[in-house]
C-alpha cells in the first residue's frame, strides 16, 4: 500500500499522524470558493512533475497518484517479473480527476482567448487516471476508472478481485485519487454542506464537511500477505440524488453483505472506520445502520475529522488507514484511529462507541476491520480487511 494524504505522504508519516489525531493538513484558502475563505485538508509531501514523455497527463491528481505508486514500485516490479506486464490490471477511482488544471486553463482562455499551450484535455478526463497509471508503470493489462462519487475507490477492490478470480489477470493495482479544485468546495458550499471549522462527525454541533484530497494505491494479489482483503458489500439505494436513505437500510445491507463475504460475524470486527462526513443526514443514517449491525460496543471513528472528505479517494484512503491500523510494523501498539471531535454527543443519534486517543484493539489471532463509503445517488460500499496470525 502506498499513500499521499493530509496525514502524511508514505506509511511511516501517515501512521504517526493517524494514531495521534493530527490535523496538520488543514489549511484555510481563499482561492477555491469565490469571495469566501474555506477550510480544506491538503495532502502532505511533494508530488513531483511527471517525466516529459507524460506531459499530456501532467496534473496534480496524476502527480499525487505517481507519488503513491512510487512507494510500492518495488512490489509492482516484482509482480511484473512474476506475472508479466499484460497480467496486471489497473483499476482506480476518482471523482474530480485533473479538473483543477481544466479550471485554470478555462480561466486563461476567458481572459486571453487562448488555451494554455501545456493544457491537454486528457489531464481532466475521468478515465485518464487509470490510463495514466498504466502508462506510468508500463503495464498492458486491463485499465479503467470507476467514478461513483465518494464510493469510487472502495468499489475498485471488488472489480480488481473479480478480474483476478475470472482469470483475466493475476494481480491488480487498485485505489484512487482526488485532488483539490474549485468545483467541489464551491459545489458543497452551494449545498450548504461545508463547515467553517474542522469536520465534527457525530457531534450535536456538527455543521458539515471539510473537503480534502488524497491518493492511495494497493497491489492486490491471490497470495495472502500480512494484510488480507477479506470481503466487500455493495448496495444501491437510489433514494435521492444527494441525500441518503434516512433508514440506513442500504448502508446496513452493504455491511451485512461484507461480513458474509468475509465469513465474519459482527463480533469478529475489531474496529469500524465510519464514513462520518459530519453532515446531519449522513451521520444520523450511518449511526442507525452501524448500531443495527454492531450495537454500541464495537470501537469506531471517522478519520474525516483529520483528513477532510477526500471524495472519490475516500474509500481507498480509509482502507489505507485500516491497513496501517492492522499492520504490526506501522502500529505495533495496536492503537485505534481516534475520533477527533468536541465530545458533545447527539442524543438523537443511535449510540456508538467512538474511540478515543490511546484506545487499542485486542486479539492474538485473525483480526478483521471494516470501512464504510457512501456516495451520492445511494452507492454504498463496505470493505473488510484483516490481519493473518503471525
What does residue 180 show for φ and ψ, rounded to 5 degrees? -65, 145
d(C-alpha 122, C-alpha 127), whole Å: 9
Half-sphere exposure of 64 (CA within 13 A, CB side): 32
Q: Which of 59, 150, 264, 300 is catalytic?
A: 150
Picking from 355, 376, 357, the residue whose alpha carbon sits closest to that of residue 279 is: 376
Q: Which of 59, 275, 291, 300 is catalytic?
A: 275
Picking from 351, 331, 357, the residue whose alpha carbon sits closest to that of residue 1 is: 331
- For 266-277, give one letter per residue: b (16+ CB within 10 A) or e: bebbbbbbbbbb
- Verify whether residue 291 is a known catalytic residue: no
d(C-alpha 21, C-alpha 23), whole Å: 7
- Verify whether residue 300 is a known catalytic residue: no
- Verify whether residue 264 is a known catalytic residue: no
Q: Which ranges of 268-362 does DSSP label H, i.e. alpha helix?
A: 280-294, 304-307, 314-326
CB contact at 8 A, 137 and 172:
no
Q: Which of 59, 291, 300, 309 is catalytic?
A: 309
d(C-alpha 94, C-alpha 128), whole Å: 10
C-alpha cell at 121: 484535455
DSSP 305-317: HHH-B-GGGHHHH
Picking from 151, 158, 171, 184, the residue whose alpha carbon sits closest to that of residue 318 is: 151
d(C-alpha 196, C-alpha 208), whole Å: 8
CB contact at 8 A, 336 and 301:
yes
d(C-alpha 282, C-alpha 351), whole Å: 15
Catalytic residue ranges = 150, 275, 309
Amino acid at each position: 500500500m502506498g499513500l499521499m494524504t493530509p496525514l502524511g505522504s508514505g506509511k511511516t508519516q501517515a501512521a504517526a499522524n493517524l494514531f495521534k489525531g493530527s490535523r496538520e493538513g488543514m489549511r484555510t484558502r481563499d482561492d477555491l470558493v469565490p469571495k469566501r475563505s474555506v477550510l480544506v485538508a491538503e495532502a502532505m509531501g511533494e508530488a513531483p512533475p511527471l517525466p516529459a514523455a507524460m506531459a499530456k497527463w501532467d496534473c496534480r491528481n496524476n502527480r499525487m497518484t505517481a507519488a503513491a505508486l512510487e512507494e510500492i514500485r518495488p512490489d509492482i516490479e516484482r509482480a511484473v517479473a512474476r506475472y508479466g506486464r499484460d497480467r496486471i490490471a489497473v483499476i482506480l477511482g476518482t471523482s474530480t480527476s485533473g479538473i483543477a488544471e481544466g479550471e485554470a486553463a478555462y480561466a486563461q482562455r476567458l481572459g486571453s482567448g487562448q488555451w494554455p499551450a501545456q493544457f491537454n484535455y486528457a489531464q481532466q478526463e475521468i478515465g485518464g487516471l487509470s490510463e495514466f497509471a498504466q502508462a506510468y508503470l508500463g503495464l498492458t493489462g486491463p485499465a479503467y476508472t470507476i467514478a461513483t462519487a465518494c464510493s469510487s475507490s472502495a468499489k475498485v477492490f471488488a472489480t480488481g478481485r473479480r478480474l483476478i478470480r475470472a482469470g483475466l489477470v493475476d494481480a491488480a493495482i487498485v485505489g484512487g485519487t482526488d485532488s483539490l479544485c474549485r468545483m467541489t468546495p464551491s459545489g458543497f458550499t452551494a449545498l450548504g454542506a461545508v463547515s467553517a471549522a474542522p469536520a465534527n462527525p457525530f457531534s450535536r454541533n456538527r455543521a458539515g464537511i471539510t473537503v480534502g484530497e488524497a491518493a492511495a494505491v494497493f497491489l492486490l494479489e491471490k497470495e495472502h500477505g500480512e494484510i488480507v482483503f477479506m470481503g466487500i458489500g455493495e448496495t444501491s439505494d437510489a433514494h435521492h440524488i444527494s441525500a441518503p436513505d434516512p433508514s440506513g437500510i442500504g448502508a446496513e445491507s452493504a455491511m451485512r453483505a461484507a461480513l458474509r463475504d468475509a465469513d465474519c460475524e459482527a463480533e469478529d470486527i475489531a474496529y469500524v472506520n465510519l464514513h462520518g462526513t459530519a453532515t446531519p443526514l449522513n451521520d444520523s443514517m450511518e449511526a442507525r445502520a452501524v448500531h443495527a449491525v454492531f450495537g454500541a460496543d464495537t470501537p469506531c471513528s471517522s478519520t474525516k475529522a483529520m483528513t477532510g472528505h477526500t471524495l472519490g479517494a475516500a474509500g481507498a484512503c480509509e482502507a489505507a488507514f485500516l491497513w496501517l491500523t492492522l499492520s504490526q510494523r506501522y502500529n505495533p501498539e495496536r492503537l485505534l484511529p481516534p475520533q477527533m471531535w468536541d465530545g458533545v454527543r447527539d442524543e438523537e443519534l443511535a449510540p456508538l462507541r467512538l474511540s478515543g486517543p490511546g484506545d487499542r484493539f485486542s486479539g492474538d489471532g485473525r483480526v478483521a476491520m471494516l470501512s464504510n463509503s457512501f456516495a451520492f445517488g445511494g452507492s454504498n460500499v463496505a470493505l473488510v480487511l484483516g490481519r493473518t496470525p503471525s
